[in-house]
Amino acid sequence: MGIWDNLWDFFWSLFWVFVFVAFLGAFFAVVVDLFRDTGLSGWFKAIWLVCLVFLPLVSLLVYVVARGEGMAARHHRDASARRYAQATYIRSLAGTSLSAEIVKARELLDAGAITDEEYTRLKEKALA
Protein backbone atom coordinates (compact mmCIF):
# COMPACT_ATOMS: atom_id res chain seq x y z
CA MET A 1 0.00 0.00 0.00
CA GLY A 2 1.43 3.32 -1.05
CA ILE A 3 0.70 6.82 0.17
CA TRP A 4 -1.76 7.33 -2.67
CA ASP A 5 -3.77 4.22 -3.41
CA ASN A 6 -5.43 5.74 -6.43
CA LEU A 7 -5.53 8.91 -8.46
CA TRP A 8 -8.31 10.47 -6.36
CA ASP A 9 -6.18 10.28 -3.22
CA PHE A 10 -3.48 12.23 -5.04
CA PHE A 11 -5.93 14.93 -6.15
CA TRP A 12 -7.49 15.08 -2.68
CA SER A 13 -4.02 15.59 -1.17
CA LEU A 14 -3.23 18.19 -3.81
CA PHE A 15 -6.45 20.03 -2.95
CA TRP A 16 -5.58 20.17 0.75
CA VAL A 17 -2.06 21.39 0.01
CA PHE A 18 -3.59 24.18 -2.09
CA VAL A 19 -6.03 25.08 0.71
CA PHE A 20 -3.20 25.17 3.26
CA VAL A 21 -1.00 27.40 1.08
CA ALA A 22 -3.95 29.73 0.38
CA PHE A 23 -4.67 29.91 4.11
CA LEU A 24 -1.04 30.76 4.87
CA GLY A 25 -1.08 33.51 2.22
CA ALA A 26 -4.25 35.03 3.65
CA PHE A 27 -2.94 34.67 7.21
CA PHE A 28 0.29 36.52 6.48
CA ALA A 29 -1.57 39.17 4.44
CA VAL A 30 -3.74 39.88 7.49
CA VAL A 31 -0.76 39.97 9.84
CA VAL A 32 1.08 42.39 7.52
CA ASP A 33 -2.05 44.54 7.26
CA LEU A 34 -2.37 44.61 11.04
CA PHE A 35 1.09 46.11 11.40
CA ARG A 36 0.58 48.43 8.41
CA ASP A 37 -2.57 49.98 9.90
CA THR A 38 -1.69 53.17 11.76
CA GLY A 39 -5.25 53.82 12.91
CA LEU A 40 -5.43 50.69 15.05
CA SER A 41 -3.99 50.85 18.54
CA GLY A 42 -1.41 48.40 19.82
CA TRP A 43 -3.92 46.69 22.12
CA PHE A 44 -6.31 45.96 19.28
CA LYS A 45 -3.43 44.65 17.19
CA ALA A 46 -2.47 42.32 20.04
CA ILE A 47 -6.06 41.13 20.44
CA TRP A 48 -6.32 40.41 16.70
CA LEU A 49 -3.03 38.48 16.81
CA VAL A 50 -4.17 36.39 19.78
CA CYS A 51 -7.43 35.62 17.97
CA LEU A 52 -5.51 34.72 14.82
CA VAL A 53 -3.34 32.29 16.77
CA PHE A 54 -6.08 30.56 18.75
CA LEU A 55 -9.01 30.75 16.28
CA PRO A 56 -7.23 31.19 12.98
CA LEU A 57 -9.94 30.43 10.41
CA VAL A 58 -12.78 32.25 12.18
CA SER A 59 -10.76 35.35 13.04
CA LEU A 60 -9.24 35.44 9.55
CA LEU A 61 -12.68 35.45 7.95
CA VAL A 62 -14.00 38.05 10.42
CA TYR A 63 -10.99 40.30 9.80
CA VAL A 64 -11.37 40.11 6.01
CA VAL A 65 -15.11 40.83 6.18
CA ALA A 66 -14.84 43.61 8.77
CA ARG A 67 -11.68 45.33 7.54
CA GLY A 68 -11.36 44.21 3.91
CA GLU A 69 -11.92 47.64 2.36
CA GLY A 70 -9.27 49.14 4.61
CA MET A 71 -6.86 46.37 3.61
CA ALA A 72 -7.28 47.27 -0.05
CA ALA A 73 -6.91 51.01 0.59
CA ARG A 74 -3.75 50.53 2.67
CA HIS A 75 -2.29 48.21 0.04
CA HIS A 76 -2.94 50.69 -2.79
CA ARG A 77 -1.61 53.61 -0.71
CA ASP A 78 1.61 51.77 0.09
CA ALA A 79 2.02 50.54 -3.48
CA SER A 80 1.65 54.06 -4.90
CA ALA A 81 4.08 55.42 -2.30
CA ARG A 82 6.55 52.70 -3.27
CA ARG A 83 6.18 53.54 -6.97
CA TYR A 84 6.69 57.25 -6.26
CA ALA A 85 9.79 56.56 -4.16
CA GLN A 86 11.17 54.28 -6.85
CA ALA A 87 10.56 56.88 -9.59
CA THR A 88 12.18 59.59 -7.46
CA TYR A 89 15.17 57.37 -6.82
CA ILE A 90 15.56 56.58 -10.52
CA ARG A 91 15.32 60.27 -11.39
CA SER A 92 17.98 61.08 -8.81
CA LEU A 93 20.27 58.46 -10.30
CA ALA A 94 19.66 59.82 -13.78
CA GLY A 95 20.61 63.29 -12.57
CA THR A 96 17.40 64.95 -13.71
CA SER A 97 14.69 66.38 -11.55
CA LEU A 98 11.03 66.69 -12.36
CA SER A 99 11.26 70.40 -13.11
CA ALA A 100 14.35 69.90 -15.28
CA GLU A 101 12.46 67.42 -17.48
CA ILE A 102 9.56 69.86 -17.92
CA VAL A 103 11.94 72.76 -18.65
CA LYS A 104 13.76 70.64 -21.23
CA ALA A 105 10.45 69.73 -22.89
CA ARG A 106 9.41 73.41 -22.90
CA GLU A 107 12.70 74.37 -24.56
CA LEU A 108 12.09 71.77 -27.25
CA LEU A 109 8.57 73.16 -27.78
CA ASP A 110 9.84 76.74 -28.00
CA ALA A 111 12.51 75.67 -30.47
CA GLY A 112 9.83 74.04 -32.63
CA ALA A 113 11.33 70.58 -32.32
CA ILE A 114 8.14 69.09 -30.85
CA THR A 115 4.43 69.82 -31.13
CA ASP A 116 2.04 70.91 -28.40
CA GLU A 117 0.66 67.37 -28.10
CA GLU A 118 4.16 65.94 -27.68
CA TYR A 119 4.94 68.59 -25.05
CA THR A 120 1.77 67.75 -23.17
CA ARG A 121 2.59 64.04 -23.32
CA LEU A 122 6.17 64.63 -22.07
CA LYS A 123 4.89 66.86 -19.25
CA GLU A 124 2.29 64.28 -18.18
CA LYS A 125 4.95 61.55 -18.32
CA ALA A 126 7.25 63.62 -16.13
CA LEU A 127 4.47 64.33 -13.63
CA ALA A 128 3.30 60.69 -13.51
Torsion, Cα of 67, 69, 74, 75 (10° steps):
110
Q: State pLDDT tens for residues 32-89.
A: 999 888 888 889 999 999 999 999 999 999 998 988 888 888 888 888 888 888 877 7
What pLDDT is attached to residue 125? Answer: 81
State yes or no: pLDDT of 1 exceeds 60: no
Q: Is the dihedral of CA 46, 47, 52, 55 positive or negative?
A: positive
Q: State pLDDT tens for residues 77-122.
A: 888 888 888 877 777 776 566 677 788 888 888 887 888 888 888 8
Chain-centre distance of CA 75, in angstroms? 5
Question: pTM above 0.85?
Answer: no
